[in-house]
Chain A
Amino acid sequence: MKRQGKLEALTATPTVMPPLKGEEDEFRTVGATIEEITPARALLQRLPIQKGVRVTGVRPGYPFEAAQPSIQAGDIIVSVGGQQVADLASLGPALSEIQDDGLAIVFRRRGEIIVTEVKPSEDKDTDIDTELPKPWLGVKTQVVTAEVARALKLQKAGGHRVTQVYEGAQAAKAGLQPGDIIVSLNGQPLRASRAQDTADLTRAIENLSLGDQAKLGLLRAGEPATLSVALEPTPRSATKAKTAKQRELEFAVREITPMDRMESRRFRDVKGLLVADVTPGGWADMSGLRVDDILISVGGEITDSIAAFETALERAMEKKPKTLTLFVQRGFRTHFVFIEPDWAKIAPDAAGTGGQK
Chain B
Amino acid sequence: MNKNTSTRMLVAVCLTLWAAPAPAQDEMAQLDGLVTKYAPAIVTVKAVLKTETKFGGAGQAQESRVTFSGVVVSPEGLVMISNTPFSPMRMMEMMGMPEEMGDIGMKATPTSLKVVVGSEEKEYDAFLAATDTNLDLAFIKMEGLGDRVLPFVDFGQGTSALVGQEVVQINRLGRGYDYAPFFQTARVNGEIAKPRTAWMLEGDISAFGLPVFGMTGDVVGVLTTIPSGVKEQGAAEGMGLSVVMRLMGGGGSTPGGSFVLPASVVKAVIEQAKVRAVEVAAERAKPKPKPRSSAPAKPAAKPKTGK
Question: Within 8 Å of chain A (Cβ to Cβ): is B165?
Answer: no
User: How far, in angstroms, from A198 to B131 measured CA to CA in the complex?
Assistant: 24
List residues 264-307 of chain B with CB under 8 A from any CB of chain A: 269, 272-273, 276, 280, 283-284, 288-307
Is A357's CB under 8 angstroms from B303's CB? yes
Instruction: For B137, give the chain A residue with the smallest CB separation.
Output: A132
Q: Which of the segments B10-18, B56-64, B71-79, B91-99 contacts the partner chain?
A: B56-64
A134 CB contacts on chain B under 8 angstroms: 134
Q: In the complex the two chains form, is B133's CB within 8 Å of A27's CB?
A: no
Assuming A60-B48, A60-B65, is B229 touching A317 (CB within 8 A)? no
- Measured between beta carbons, the chain A residues less than 8 angstroms from B112 are 60-61, 66, 121, 124
Indicate whether A147 reaches chain B with its CB closer than 8 angstroms: no
Query: Which residues of chain A in 197-256 are interfacial with respect to chain B, using CB atoms and an 8 Å cutoff?
Result: 197-200, 203, 206, 239, 244-248
Contact with A348, one of B229, B288, B299 (Cβ below 8 angstroms): B299
Task: Write the chain B residue with the least CB distance to A313.
Answer: B293
A39-83 CB mask vs B (1 if < 8 Å, else 0) is: 000000000000000000001110000100000000000000000
Q: Indicate the size class of the contact surface on chain A.
A: 35 or more
Contact partners of B304 in chain A: CB under 8 A: 24-26
A296-332 interface code vs B (CB 8 A; 1 in, 0 out): 0000000000010111011001000000000000000
Shortest A146–chain B CB gap in Å is 17
- The winner among B57, B105, B283, B300 for most chain A CB atoms within 10 A is B300
Interface string of B179-213 (1 = CB under 8 A from A): 00000000000000011100000000000000000
Q: What's the least CB distance linking B37 to chain A, in Å?
A: 29
CB distance from B61 to the nearest CB of A (A): 9
* A28 and B296 in contact, given A125-B111, A196-B230, A291-B59 (Cβ under 8 angstroms): yes
With A131-B133, A196-B194, A310-B290 as contacts: A125 and B229 at CB distance below 8 Å: no
B292 contacts A313, CB within 8 Å?
yes
Are B276 and A132 closer than 8 Å at their CB atoms?
yes
At the interface, yes or no: B32 with Cβ under 8 Å from chain A?
no
In the complex, what's the smallest C-beta–C-beta distance from B80 to chain A, in angstroms?
12
For B291, the closest partner residue in chain A by CB is A123
Shortest Cβ distance from B50 into A: residue: A125
Question: A46–B57 Cα gap in the complex (Å)?
Answer: 45
> A203 and B284 in contact (CB under 8 A), knowing A244-B293, A317-B292?
no
- Do the beta carbons of A314 and B107 come within 8 Å of each other? no
Q: Which residues from chain A contact B195 at a C-beta distance below 8 Å?
A: 199, 203
Bound-complex Cα distance A329 to B283 (A): 33
Contact B302 A128 (CB under 8 A): no
| Cβ-based interface call for B132 (8 A) | yes
Hey, which chain B residues are within 8 Å of A337, CB to CB? Answer: none
Task: Check B130 for interface membership: any CB of A closer than 8 A.
Answer: yes
Instruction: Report if A356-B301 is in contact (Cβ < 8 Å); known contacts: A66-B112, A130-B129.
Output: yes
CB <8 Å contact, B303 and A128 = no
Q: Which residue of B lies closest to A98 (CB)?
A: B300
Which residues of chain A are within 8 angstroms of B54 by Cβ–Cβ distance? Answer: 277, 291
Given contacts A26-B302, A95-B301, A126-B127, 13 further A-B pairs with CB under 8 A are A28-B295, A88-B301, A123-B295, A125-B294, A131-B130, A198-B229, A248-B305, A277-B52, A283-B305, A286-B307, A291-B57, A311-B290, A342-B307
Chain A positions near chain B (C-beta within 8 angstroms): 24-30, 59-61, 66, 88, 91-93, 95-96, 121, 123-126, 128, 130-132, 134, 195-200, 203, 206, 239, 244-248, 277-281, 283, 286, 290-292, 307, 309-311, 313-314, 317, 342, 345-346, 348-349, 354-357
- In the assembled complex, 22 residue pairs joining A and B whose CB atoms fall closer than 8 Å, in A order, are A26-B302, A60-B65, A123-B294, A123-B295, A124-B112, A128-B128, A130-B138, A196-B228, A198-B230, A203-B196, A246-B293, A277-B54, A279-B59, A280-B58, A307-B289, A307-B290, A310-B290, A314-B290, A317-B292, A342-B305, A348-B303, A349-B297
